[in-house]
């Protein structure tokens, strides 16, 4: 089942994001190698600077998705003001259904 992790950064935490980014990228690469990562990328503010994340993963259930979200280095670094986890249905342009 797919889950969207919708993460909003705390204000004025860009340096936290930059410092944790190498570990976050390694974390996403590991999820990708396991086939769990569908896609990911940052939300951008009006100035084009990252201020959140959208990560879509394949997980067994909401509890498993929550566990993944909790192990993200950004979450461990205290970057996020909030993390919303929503079941998601990839209807259009899904390469798996092509």
**pTM to 2 decimal places:** 0.94
Residue 19 maps to a domain: yes
Cα–Cα nearest to 50, from 98, 14, 75: 14
Residue 45 maps to a domain: yes
CATH number reported for the structural domain that contains residue 74 in this entry: 3.30.70.1060
Residue 27 maps to a domain: yes
> How far are the Cα atoms of 2, 65, 69, 71, 95 from residue 62, in angstroms, in the given order?
9, 5, 10, 14, 23
Mean pLDDT of the 68-78 span = 98
Residue 96 maps to a domain: no
Residue 28 maps to a domain: yes
Beta bridge pairs of residue 9: 80
- pLDDT band at residue 56 using 50, 70 and 90 as cut-offs: very high
Residue 97 maps to a domain: no
Full domain range(s) for residue 27: 2-91
Which strands, in side-by-side order, build the sheet including 80-88?
37-44, 50-58, 2-9, 80-88
Q: What's the pLDDT score for residue 95?
A: 87
Residue 76 maps to a domain: yes
Tell me the three state secondary structure of residue 50: strand
Q: Is 75:69 a contact under the CB 8 Å cutoff? A: yes
Phi first, then psi, for residue 13 (nearest 5°) are -115, 25
Residue 68 maps to a domain: yes
When comparing pLDDT for 98 and 61, which is higher? 61
- Whether 98 has a pLDDT exceeding 80, the answer reads no
- Quote the number of domains for the chain: 1
Q: What's the pLDDT score for residue 97?
A: 79
């Amino acid at each position: 089942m797919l889950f969207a992790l919708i993460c909003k950064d705390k204000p004025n935490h860009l340096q936290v994001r930059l410092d944790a980014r190498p570990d976050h990228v390694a974390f996403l690469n590991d999820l990708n190698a396991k086939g769990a990562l569908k896609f990911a990328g940052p939300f951008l503010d009006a100035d084009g600077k990252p201020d959140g994340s959208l990560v879509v993963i394949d997980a067994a259930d909401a509890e498993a998705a929550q566990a993944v979200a909790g192990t993200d280095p950004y979450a461990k670094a205290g970057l996020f003001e909030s993390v919303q986890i929503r079941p998601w249905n990839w209807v259009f342009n899904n390469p798996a259904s092509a």
